[in-house]
Amino acid sequence: METKQRRRVSAALRTFLKNKGAVIGTILLLACIGTAVFAPLIAPYDPLDVVGTSRQAPAPRYLLGTDLLGRDVFSRIIFGARISLTIGLISVAIGLSVGTSMGLPSGYYGGWIDSVIMRLIDTMLALPGILLALVVIAALGPSLANVMIAVGISSIPLYARLVRGSCLSIRELDYVQAAKVIGSSDARIMLRHILPNLVGPVIVLSTLQVGSAILVGAALSYLGMGAQPPTPEWGLMTADGRAYLTRAWWMSTFPGLAIFLVVMTLNMVGDGLRTALDPRMKIA
């Protein structure tokens, strides 16, 4: 890395580390990732095994109680971390790859390419939030894999707009103009000059989007459109406990709490990254 870039990165790192929220968030996030990775070692029981009687209250033996079938809620939540994080990561991967490949030519070339791509983006944005994902599920059918595709598709427009916007401003800069003048190919300019400047905003958006994807994915499963039983997905578990809010409150409360905590840590880290990389950055 060139010295100027290295200095920028270390300056950003220092700002990030001074932010208490960001640091706490990072530690919690690492704990969450660790839980997902080492789930078989941490969980006391198999998430699919019936280990106790139905709807037992939290006790030393079953830390967060058992669910309707007598499975250990704590173990299911631990393994559920894997599913939620996978939903987040794959959706972001889809959104990032497709969104960038749409936003780059749109912002760089402008003209009719930009118009066409922007109309496509606007169409996707016409169905806000969970709606676009619902439409994809309606077409593909309810399943965990389709949830990842659906949520991925609904994050494409955010990346496309971000990349396009950055592209529009960067392409006017002197050194990009200079590169064009000396005859660099468009692809080379996009890859070597424009793309590196996008890394910051894209990292911030991705961190926040993983949280958003987890929320939408859990909501889809809650509605019966996503993960199917007996998968220990947090949204599905919350839905299962819905009929027992008074008699077995732990069935819904803890999976929902897990979602809340993971998304909150992602938001804390994302906010910290945004402040560190550029406080004036507009993400969405």
* Contact between 131 and another protein per CB under 8 A: yes
- Asked whether position 256 contacts another protein by CB under 8 A, the answer is yes
- Cα distance between residue 74 and residue 91, in whole Å: 26
Nearest to 216 by CA among 202, 207, 226: 226
**Could you say whether residue 139 binds another protein (CB under 8 A)?**
yes
Q: Binding of another protein at residue 264 (CB under 8 A)? A: yes
Site string for another protein, 182-221 (x = CB under 8 A): -----------------------------x---x--xx--
> Does 230 sit behind a cis peptide bond, omega within 30 degrees of 0 on the bond before it?
yes
Among 24, 93, 135, 195, binds another protein (CB under 8 A): 135
Shortest distance, CB of residue 129 to another protein, whole angstroms?
3
Nearer to another protein, 225 or 276 (CB): 225
Whichever of 176 and 277 has its CB closer to another protein, that residue is: 277
**Range in contact with another protein (rule: CB under 8 A) among 8-16, 93-101, 182-190, 240-248:** 240-248
Q: Is 257 in the site for another protein (CB under 8 A)?
A: yes
Shortest distance (Å) from residue 49 CB to another protein: 26
What's the closest the beta carbon of residue 236 comes to another protein, in angstroms? 11
Q: Which of 202, 225, 248, 269 binds another protein (CB under 8 A)?
A: 225
Kindly report the number of other CB atoms within 10 A of residue 175's CB atom: 10
Q: Residues in the site for another protein, rule: CB under 8 A?
A: 119-120, 122-123, 126-131, 134-135, 137-139, 141-142, 211, 215, 218-219, 222-225, 235, 238-239, 242, 245-246, 249, 252-253, 256-257, 259-260, 263-264, 267-268, 271
